[in-house]
Structures are given as C-alpha cells and as structure tokens.
C-alpha cells in the first residue's frame, strides 16, 4: 500500500456543494458496480499476519508483499515463531521488499512487544496498535477494519484524493478525511468504501491526470463540476 504523501491538497479539493443523501447513495452504488472485484490485496489468515503484511507494505505493492508472506507465514505463523529469527535471517526472508532492514527491525520489535505485553495477541484499539514499531494510523485502521471487523475507514493517499474530489469529505489531512467519511457514509458501507475508493483512485481518478471523461461518477463529482466551470 502506498504511503500517504499529501503535497498540496488544493489540487484535489474543491469548494463542495452540499452533500445530499441521494448523492452519497448514488456514488456508493456506482463505486460498488465499478469495483466489485478489487485489485490485489494483502493475504492473511489472522490479525497478526495482516499486521505484519501492513508493516511490509509501506512503499511496496500488495502483490510483492503477498509473494513474500506466502512462505513467510507458513514458516512463522505467529509472533513467537518470528522471535526465533535473528535480524539478519528475517532480512534475508524479506529482502525483495523496500527498506527491508528497517522493516525487519520493526517486525521483530513488534513481535517482542506482542509477546511480552499482549500474550502474543494483536491489541484491538487503534492507539495501542499505533505504538507498535512500524505501525501508523492507516496500518492500524486496516488491521482493525479487515481482521477484527472494526468499523473504521482507513484513509490512504487514494482514499484521501478521491473522497475529497467527489465531495464525500472535505478533509485537510487523512484524519479529517476519515472523520468526514465516517460522518457522511452509512456505517454498513464503511469497510467496503475503502477498497472501492482505492480501486477508483488507481484505475480512473489518478493523482495527476484523472480520467474524468470516462468516469461514471462525473455527474456527482465536485472536482469535475469545478473543472467544467473553470475550464
């Protein structure tokens, strides 16, 4: 998963028109239709495995992470197993990944904390998760949302951009965007809104050149309306 890098939000956000329930419903219907089969995601069987996959995924594609974890999780399914590895041995296992030295250090330190403080289990609250080495807010939200059924909307660079362009949020940063989305979207759609917005950002609503002319959402998009007005 890409790391959130927000250089200039002015290029993505617009003065939104009032967000109506009808507009929210329509956008979600279209997103669901367009992105029913999302692009590859992180493979995991337990919250611990998703946590490790998330740490590995910084600056790295989900496809590559899945390739690494396919064997890694077979050999080392839980934190106790990882702690049998030296830093060098873990580096060797994950070396095809960017920043593998730092990630190996974070993973071993995280496993140590899980074993010493949480009986080898992954904590179920965001603040505690974010204190683990290598775990940021997005990673914590992904773990909570997808492995524990928590009701959150993890905001990465794609979710931030697409949600603000559409007018589903007016956030100046990922935290504000997350809060706006949780306020504006129905609870039962929170978990799936995340992969839908990511897919839309990857395939159509690209950062530099959004493909508005072929986008099914343009009738509901604030950014597109503004482009028409100013273009």
Q: Report, as residue numbers or ranges, the catalytic residues.
A: 138, 156
Q: In the chain, what are the helix, strand and coil shares in percent, each to the nearest 5?
A: 60, 0, 40
Contacts of 24 (CB under 8 A, 6+ apart): 168, 184, 185, 186
Does 23 participate in binding ligand SF4 (rule CB under 6 A)?
no
90: exposed, middle or buried (C-beta count within 10 Å: 0-12, 13-18, 19+)? buried
The conformational region for residue 96 under phi > 0 = left, psi -120 to 50 = alpha, else beta, is: alpha
* d(C-alpha 84, C-alpha 105), whole Å: 14
Choice between 66 and 227, CB closer to ligand SF4: 227
Shortest spacing between CB 220 and ligand SF4, in angstroms: 8
Does 12 participate in binding ligand SF4 (rule CB under 6 A)?
no
Does 28 participate in binding ligand SF4 (rule CB under 6 A)?
no
* d(C-alpha 220, C-alpha 217), whole Å: 6
Shortest spacing between CB 201 and ligand SF4, in angstroms: 8
Choice between 129 and 162, CB closer to ligand SF4: 162
Shortest spacing between CB 78 and ligand SF4, in angstroms: 41
Choice between 5 and 209, CB closer to ligand SF4: 209
* d(C-alpha 222, C-alpha 163), whole Å: 10
Among residue numbers 138 through 167, which ones bind ligand SF4 (CB under 6 A)?
162, 165-166
Question: Which of 17, 92, 95, 211 is close enough to bind ligand SF4 by CB under 6 A?
Answer: 211
Question: Which of 44, 48, 196, 224 is close enough to bind ligand SF4 by CB under 6 A?
Answer: 224
Does 117 participate in binding ligand SF4 (rule CB under 6 A)?
no
Does 218 participate in binding ligand SF4 (rule CB under 6 A)?
yes
Question: Which of 28, 64, 182, 204 is close enough to bind ligand SF4 by CB under 6 A?
Answer: 204
Contacts of 16 (CB under 8 A, 6+ apart): 167, 170, 222
Contacts of 101 (CB under 8 A, 6+ apart): 91
* d(C-alpha 40, C-alpha 231), whole Å: 36
Does 168 participate in binding ligand SF4 (rule CB under 6 A)?
no
Does 195 participate in binding ligand SF4 (rule CB under 6 A)?
no
Choice between 121 and 206, CB closer to ligand SF4: 206
Enumerate binding residues for ligand SF4 (CB under 6 A): 162, 165-166, 204-205, 210-212, 215, 217-218, 221, 223-224
């Amino acid at each position: 998963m890409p790391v959130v890098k927000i250089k200039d939000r002015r290029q993505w956000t617009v003065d939104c028109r009032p967000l109506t329930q009808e507009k929210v419903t329509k956008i979600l219907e279209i997103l669901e239709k367009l992105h029913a089969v999302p692009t590859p995601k992180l493979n995991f069987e337990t919250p611990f495995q998703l946590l490790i996959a998330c740490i590995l995924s910084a600056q790295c594609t989900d496809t590559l992470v899945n390739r690494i974890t396919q064997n890694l999780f077979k050999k080392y399914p839980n934190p106790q197993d990882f702690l049998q590895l030296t830093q060098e041995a873990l580096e060797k296992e994950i070396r095809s990944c960017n920043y593998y030295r730092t990630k190996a250090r974070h993973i071993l330190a995280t496993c140590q904390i899980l074993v010493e403080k949480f009986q080898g289990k992954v904590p179920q609250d965001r603040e505690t998760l974010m204190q683990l080495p290598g775990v940021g807010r997005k990673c914590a939200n992904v773990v909570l949302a997808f492995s524990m059924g928590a009701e959150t909307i993890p905001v990465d660079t794609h979710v931030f951009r697409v949600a603000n362009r559409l007018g589903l949020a007016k956030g100046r940063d990922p935290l504000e965007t997350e809060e706006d989305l949780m306020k504006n979207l129905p609870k039962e759609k929170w978990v799936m809104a995340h992969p839908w917005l990511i897919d839309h950002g990857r395939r159509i609503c690209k950062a530099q050149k959004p493909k508005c002319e072929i986008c099914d959402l343009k009738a509901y998009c604030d950014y597109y309306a503004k482009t028409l007005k100013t273009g």
